Structure 1
Amino acid sequence: MISVKNLSHSYNKDETYQVKNISFEVKKGEIFGFLGPSGAGKSTVQNILTGLLQLQQGEVKVADYDVKHTSKNMFNKIGMSFEQSNVYSKLTAKENLDFYGKLFDVATVESMELLKRVGLDGKENIKAGEFSKGMKHRLTFARSMINNPELWFLDEPTTGLDPSIAADIKNIIREKNNEGVTIFLTTHNMFIADELCDRVAFIVDGEIKLIDSPENLKLQYGEKLVEVEYMENNEVKKKTFSTVLPEDKKALEIVIRDHDILTMHTKEATLEEIFIKVTGRGLV
Structure 2
Amino acid sequence: MLRGHRGRADVLGRAVERWGPDFYEHVGVGFELPAHFSKLTARENLAAFAGLFAGPVDKPARLLELVDLADAADRPVAEFSKGMQMRLHLARALVNRPRVLFLDEPTSGLDPVHAAAVRRLIRDQAAQGRAVFLTTHDMATADQVCDRVAFVADGRIAAIDSPRGFRLAHGKPTAIVEYRDEDVVRRKESPLADLGRDGTFAELLRAGSVETVHTREASLDEVFAAVTGARL
Task: Return the TM-score normalized by structure 2.
Answer: 0.88
The aligned residue for residue 148 of structure 1 is: 97
Give the secondary-structure state (helix, strand or coil) at the position aligned to 1:209.
Answer: strand
Query: 1:108-140 CA distances to partner (integer Å, 9 max, x unpaired)?
Result: 111011112212223222332333322222211
Aligned to 1:44: none
Which residue identity lines up with residue 62 of structure 2 in the other structure?
E
1: CA distance, partners of 2:223 / 2:181: 35
Correspondence 1:191 to 2:170 = no
Distance 1:67 1:276 in 2: 33
Counterpart residue number, 2:206 = 258
Matched, 1:243 2:201: no
Structure 1, residues 136-172: CA drift from partner, whole Å, max 9, x if none? 2221110111122221111100101122221221121
Specify which of 199, 224, 229 is matched with residue 275 of structure 1: 224
What residue in structure 2 maps to residue 219 of structure 1? 168
Q: Which has the higher contact order (CA 8 A, sep 6+)?
A: 1
Normalized per residue, the structure richer in helix is 2
Residue aligned with 2:8, SS = strand
For the residues of structure 2 that align with 1:255 and 1:147, how far apart are their CA atoms?
A: 62
Judge conservation of contact 1:227–1:266 (CA < 8 Å) in 2. yes
- Opposite residue 155 of structure 1, the aligned amino acid is D
Kindly tell me: are residues 131 and 255 of structure 1, through their superposed partners in 2, closer, same or farther at Cα, counting changes over 3 Å?
same
Shift of 1:258: 2.7
Higher mean alpha-carbon deviation, 63-72 vs 197-206, is at: 63-72
Q: Shift of the alpha carbon at 1:257?
A: 5.6
Task: Give 3-state SS (helix, strand or coil) of 1:230's partner.
Answer: strand
Q: Equivalences for 1:18-167 in 2 at 5 Å? A: 56-167=5-116
Deviation at 1:239, TM superposition (A): 1.8
Tell me the number of residue pairs that the alignment of Structure 1 and Structure 2 aligns: 230
Q: Using the alignment, how far apart are the partners of 2:102 and 2:176 within structure 1?
A: 39
Q: Which amino acid aligns with 1:182?
A: A
SS in 2 for 1:170: helix
CA contact 1:63–1:74 (8 Å) conserved in 2: no
Query: Unpaired segments of 5 or more residues in structure 1?
Result: 1-8, 15-55
SS at match of 1:91: coil
Contact 1:65–1:74 (Cα < 8 Å) also in 2: no
Report Cα offsets for 1:259-278 as digits up to 9, x if no partner.
Answer: 42321111211100110111
Identity of aligned residues (%): 38
CA RMSD of aligned residues (A): 2.3
In structure 2, what is the equivalent of residue 33 of structure 1?
Answer: none
Deviations 1:194-238 (A, max 9, x none): 111111000011011000011111111111210112356787553
Secondary structure (helix, strand or coil) at the match of 1:211 reads strand
Structure 1 residues 188, 250: CA separation in 2 closer, same or farther (over 3 Å shift)?
A: same
